[in-house]
Amino acid sequence: MKFFVDTANIDEIRDLADTGLLDGVTTNPSLIAKTGRNFLNVVAEICEVVKGPVSAEVAATDFETMLAEGRKLAGIADNIAVKVPLTRDGLKTCKVLSEGGTMVNVTLCFSANQAILAAKAGATFISPFVGRLDDLATDGMGLIDDICQIYANYPNFTTEVLVASVRSPMHIVDAARIGAHVATVPPAVLWSLFNHPLTDKGLAAFLSDWEKTGQSIL
Ligand code: G3P
């Protein structure tokens, strides 16, 4: 399973990249707005830190402008995945960019039928938003299960399922159990994956016993 971090904060991205466990980054207009920085500069900086796919979202909603924006974003670095919304124009843009060899992440997916369209449009990633479905008392992880099963029926679908709107470690465990390819996760949730109180307790006991031996390894 690949881990992407869902943030545009370069310091948080650097910290997580240091772990060696980060496979990519996703951004969106809301995350860019939080940084208060220039979009194109931030994205270029992120692409220098992380060599895996870095999603950068178009702002237009019509095909011609989305395509022009997508091409400009793709020109920033080889590891850009242009993010387009799951609309008619978005999928049209996805098809053209994908055929031209650009990675495309189709975002704001809330149904299996939308995911089928994205795969047919050649998306590199489909981003179903599990947390936002859960917020409406709809089973977000059930959608991930449906999409993974549907894609597995068609070997010519190469689109990877990128679980988005992740809110908790349980979302990640459930997505991994289903076999989703990628989860994009807020930094705090990614860091929380390391934690277990029994690890802390066990380590404290080992260290205290080791000290009693008076030995040193180096
Ligand atoms: O990956 C999409 C994500 O940024 C949306 O998350 O928590 O606003 O639903 P959220």
Tell the residue nearest (CA) to atom 5 of ligand 1.
165
Residue 7 DSSP one-character state: -
Residue 164 DSSP one-character state: B
Q: Which of 154, 158, 162, 166 is nearest to 52 (CA)?
A: 162
29 CA from centroid of ligand 1 (Å): 11
Residue type (1 letter), 76: I
Handedness of CA 177, 178, 181, 186 (dihedral sign): negative
In angstroms, the CA 97 to CA 175 distance is: 28
Q: What is the pLDDT along the chain (218 residues), one digit of tens a residue?
A: 999 999 999 999 999 999 999 999 999 999 999 999 999 999 999 999 999 999 999 999 999 999 999 999 999 999 999 999 999 999 999 999 999 999 999 999 999 999 999 999 999 999 999 999 999 999 999 999 999 999 999 999 999 999 999 999 999 999 999 999 999 999 999 999 999 999 999 999 999 999 999 999 99
Q: How many domains does the chain have?
A: 1
Mutate to test the pocket of ligand 1, among 12, 57, 129, 138 (most ligand atoms within 8 A of CB): 129
The answer as to whether 157 is a domain residue is yes
Q: Check if the beta carbon of residue 160 is closer than 8 Å to that of residue 98.
A: no
205 CA from centroid of ligand 1 (Å): 39
Distances in Å between the alpha carbon of 173 and those of 17, 165, 168? 21, 14, 9
CATH number for position 121: 3.20.20.70
The answer as to whether 74 is a domain residue is yes
The answer as to whether 38 is a domain residue is yes
What is the pTM (predicted TM-score) of this model?
0.96
Tell the residue nearest (CA) to atom 2 of ligand 1.
165
Cross-strand bridge partners of residue 56:
82
Q: Rounded to the nearest 5°, which phi and psi values hold at 74?
A: -65, -25
Strand, coil or helix: what is 151? Answer: helix
Mutate to test the pocket of ligand 1, among 165, 172, 189 (most ligand atoms within 8 A of CB): 165
Residue type (1 letter), 129: F
Tell the residue nearest (CA) to atom 8 of ligand 1.
165
Quote the domain boundaries for residue 93.
2-213
The answer as to whether 92 is a domain residue is yes
The answer as to whether 218 is a domain residue is no
166 CA from centroid of ligand 1 (Å): 7
The answer as to whether 27 is a domain residue is yes
The answer as to whether 30 is a domain residue is yes
The answer as to whether 151 is a domain residue is yes
